[in-house]
Chains A and B, each alone.
Chain A
Amino acid sequence: MTFNEVKEALSDQFPGSVIQNDDLPEGQIEINSENWLEVATFMKTDPKLSFDQLECITGVDTGDDGPLQSHYNFHSMEHRHKVEIVINHDRKEPKVASIEQVWRIGDWFERETFDMFGIVYEGHRDLRRILCPDDWEGWPLRKDYETQESFHGILVPKIKEEEGWE
């Protein structure tokens, strides 16, 4: 299937879930976060789509007051087509349904995105930090991230770009 056929198949099955966004580059589909789990299950199980491989989940911080985004890369081994799903989150309360039980690899991908961006994947059975220590403060890949001052009594020297050492 071509990209447009995939997009049509999704919007036929879930009218209202696919958001028309002309700013997105070719290959990306924006999905409403409301019934993402059903859409994802359909993408996996529908024989025409059959997205059997979840390649990556990553987060994007669009900066300032813009939303946080989850990007999902799907690939179908069977039909050899691929698509990227974009979901926007509210910056204050970023959350979306977990697809960890649809694609098992989603477990670690979602934990990593949670670790770096603080996006909560609801329904994930083990949503802990995966790279940072459990008691780390803040979400490092967000644009407004501030490094913590000390970690277990170890001073973290802050370096500002123009002024040098603080």
Chain B
Amino acid sequence: MGLLENKFQDNVVVASLDKILGWARSTSPWYFQFGLACCAIEMMASAASRHDLERIGMMPRSSPRQADVMIVAGTVTMKMALRVKKLYEQMADPKYVISMGSCATSGGPYWQHGYHVLKGVDLVVPVDVYVPGCPPRPEALIEGLLKLQEKIQTERPLTRKLA
């Protein structure tokens, strides 16, 4: 898609193609299998048979090269922050980030005395959806993922953006 992206003016033909592309992208965002703390347990629970993320087209990938969504599940330490950034940079476009739980969103319980904790993963990578909770239940994560899918659907990848 790289060659065609953001190349066309807004017109009828591109509008419909854009919708199809948005729909296709939104219904199979593969996520990066990557957990940092207790939120990762809930992420695993979401992927396991009871909640089964694959029914909404989400499938864990072990490599950032194959993943579309990075779920930052857990406390991001300063040491890990550099690696999170690197992993994000290794993902292919289009890429999305979900900040799962209060640690990834704001530092959580470490926001005051955690000298080693990054106060929100949005300081290093752009975040699309924040999922609150400590840790969020699988239902909450799934809600966040559905919100992300809605967001992806409204994107118009081919249309040139107005400056």
Interface residues of A (CB under 8 A from B): 132-133, 136, 140, 145, 147, 151-152, 154-157, 159, 161
Contacts A132-B79, A133-B79, A154-B81 aside, 13 further interface pairs with beta carbons under 8 A come to: A132-B116, A133-B78, A140-B115, A140-B116, A145-B115, A147-B115, A151-B78, A154-B78, A154-B118, A154-B123, A154-B124, A156-B78, A157-B119
Contact with A along B96-121 (1 / 0, CB 8 A): 00000000000000011001101100
**A151–B112 Cα gap in the complex (Å)?**
17
A-B pairs under 8 A by CB, number = 26
**In whole angstroms, what is the CA distance A151 to B119 when docked?**
12
Residues on the B chain within 8 Å of A154, using CB: 78, 81, 118, 123-124
Is B20's beta carbon under 8 Å from chain A? no
Residues of A contacting B111 in the complex (Cβ-Cβ under 8 angstroms): 159
Q: Which residues of B contact A151 (CB under 8 A)?
A: 78, 81
A-B contact pairs, 26 of them (CB 8 A): A132-B79, A132-B116, A133-B78, A133-B79, A133-B82, A136-B78, A140-B115, A140-B116, A145-B115, A147-B115, A151-B78, A151-B81, A152-B82, A154-B78, A154-B81, A154-B118, A154-B123, A154-B124, A155-B123, A156-B78, A156-B115, A156-B119, A157-B119, A159-B111, A159-B112, A161-B112
Q: Name the interface size band of chain B.
A: 10 to 19
Residues of B within 8 A of A (CB): 78-79, 81-82, 111-112, 115-116, 118-119, 123-124
Complex Cα spacing A136 to B81, Å: 13
CB of B104, distance to nearest CB on chain A (Å): 14
**What A residues does B123 contact at CB under 8 A?**
154-155
Q: A157 to B82, alpha carbons, bound, how many Å?
A: 17
The 5 closest A-B pairs by CB, nearest first: A147-B115, A133-B79, A159-B112, A151-B78, A157-B119
When distances are taken between beta carbons in the complex, the residues of chain B under 8 Å from A147 are 115
Question: Residues of A contacting B81 with CB < 8 Å?
Answer: 151, 154
A145 contacts which chain B residues (CB < 8 A)? 115
Cβ of A160 to closest chain B Cβ, rounded Å: 9
